[in-house]
Chains A and B, each alone.
Chain A
């Protein structure tokens, strides 16, 4: 009974979404809201007055998306459409006054038609306090200097985020992910892509990939919690010799390569681990927790 009720709830939710295009998202969701549509090739630019912390979302089909934080209470968007068969919707909420939500959607004008390269390139400046939600299946996503929460999902494009201060959630199937100088919580997931973390000051960071590699370059914040998990790729952690962390490294079929003079200790849980495939130890005063696992890849923990 519970299941049926939940499924029915899904069906009811779904009934809002059954539509044939991006424009019919549902009046409930857009009142009051402004809706602009643009079609045709070429570049378009728009500027919107916003609050200090607007939520900006971009739903693209393919192409580059570049978003940068700035100190104005405005969103400026410039997009280039390469095909006359693609349109861009802009939704603003509220319709009048400083926008609290802005949504840009690239869509196929004829949804049943397959366009080989439905590229729309976006260059967007947003208030630094903005939150972002970006969906760009095929194309690179570059984000810089955003203080709000950021969510990015992609299929095959590279995602690069620098100087993000909010919660960062990144998902990709085949694309590489690069996170530079993050200070908020980070979650990065890919299946075939590589993950690269550079100089993070985040206290919570999780990186997971299946067949890509993971490289972590930087120190660990005191009290920080870092989880790096790979399946068949290698994991390389490069940190200063002064780093302070408790290491919990495990692999099923891979190898362990550690350059730190760890003080050994027992595993942090009662889980079964075959001998020789795990390494538990403390470096310095063990202020951060570093959990690294790989099924068949090699785990390197190296000094800078």
Chain B
């Protein structure tokens, strides 16, 4: 009876925490939220994650692009049949009408990654749409290299944040799930390393760049999935 009573009290605290969280993160002075986070490990982890996400998101390049940029992105994605992919994928993490129980850290980190990917791909998509055939790989080599470095710094930072979160929770994961995630991440880490090595030798090879971007994006997906479902 006493245990049940404590559990119900805990649930009430979690519900109040949940209701107050958004306002708290927007700056409302509510010591109850911090107090509950210190007493409840799952809510505490959540608050830590969200504060980390907010800090990470703040570091992302968030200048508002012109409508033309968004229009080009949309056109390029639609042409490649990617818009539906993205919507479906992100809807899975973010949709408020989802009936399945979800956890915030993976969703929000994945959302931060989406922002990073959009900002990173912006240049590629624009270039793709207005590519000048007269521009040879040689003349654009330095631009490509700079772009590549930019891609790495932004994406790696976000994926790293997810990976740190993953490692912190790895010990609590179901062993069989952990094994599969680990194998997947190993494959992707190998891919990333091989792509980076190849780019050293063939900096203009667009196929390698595509593979590198794909590997980062897949790694983010695997990490997001692990953070969401790894501990069930």
Point out residues on A near B: beta carbons under 8 Å.
Answer: 1-4, 6-8, 10-22, 24-26, 28-30, 57, 59, 61, 91, 101, 103, 105, 107-108, 111, 114, 118, 135, 137-138, 151, 153, 155-156, 167, 169, 171, 173-174, 187, 189, 191-192, 204, 206, 208, 210-211, 225, 229, 231-232, 250, 252-253, 270-274, 293, 295-296
Contact = CB atoms under 8 A, between A and B. Distances in A.
A19 B100 contact: no
A118 B133 CA distance: 57
A59 B43 CA distance: 24
B88 A151 contact: yes
A60 B53 CA distance: 29
Nearest to A91: B99
Given A1-B62, A2-B64, A210-B187, A11 B205 contact: no
Interface residues of B, number: 73
Nearest to A55: B99
B151 interface: no
A176 to B, nearest CB: 12
A252 B57 contact: no
A15 B202 CA distance: 47
A61 B232 contact: yes
A7 B62 CA distance: 12
Given A15-B18, A174-B184, A293-B207, A7 B100 contact: no
Contacts of B32: none
Nearest to B128: A269
B120 to A, nearest CB: 14
Contact of B99 (A7, A18, A25, A171): A25
A16 B18 CA distance: 8
Which secondary structure characterizes the binding site on chain B?
helix
A252 B198 contact: yes
A155 B180 contact: yes
A11 B108 contact: yes
A210 B188 contact: yes
B176 A191 contact: no
Given A137-B229, A231-B215, A274-B202, A17 B103 contact: yes
Contact of B11 (A10, A20, A30, A138): A20
Contact of A8 (B22, B84, B107): B22
B94 A174 contact: no
B211 A231 contact: yes
Nearest to A225: B81
Nearest to B10: A20
Contact of B57 (A7, A105, A189, A204): A7
Q: Which 8 A-B pairs have the closest CB atoms?
A: A18-B18, A271-B206, A191-B184, A3-B62, A14-B104, A156-B180, A174-B180, A173-B184
B111 A10 contact: yes
A43 B177 CA distance: 26
Contacts of B88: 151, 169
A264 to B, nearest CB: 19
A15 B102 contact: no
Contact of B187 (A22, A153, A211): A211
- Chain A CB count within 10 A is highest, among B53, B88, B101, B229, for B101
Interface in B61-119: 62, 64, 81, 84-85, 88, 92, 94, 96-104, 107-108, 111-112, 115
A200 to B, nearest CB: 16
Contacts of A169: 85, 88
A48 to B, nearest CB: 15
Contacts of B97: 29
Contacts of B92: 153
A205 to B, nearest CB: 11
A10 B180 contact: no
A23 to B, nearest CB: 9
B21 interface: yes
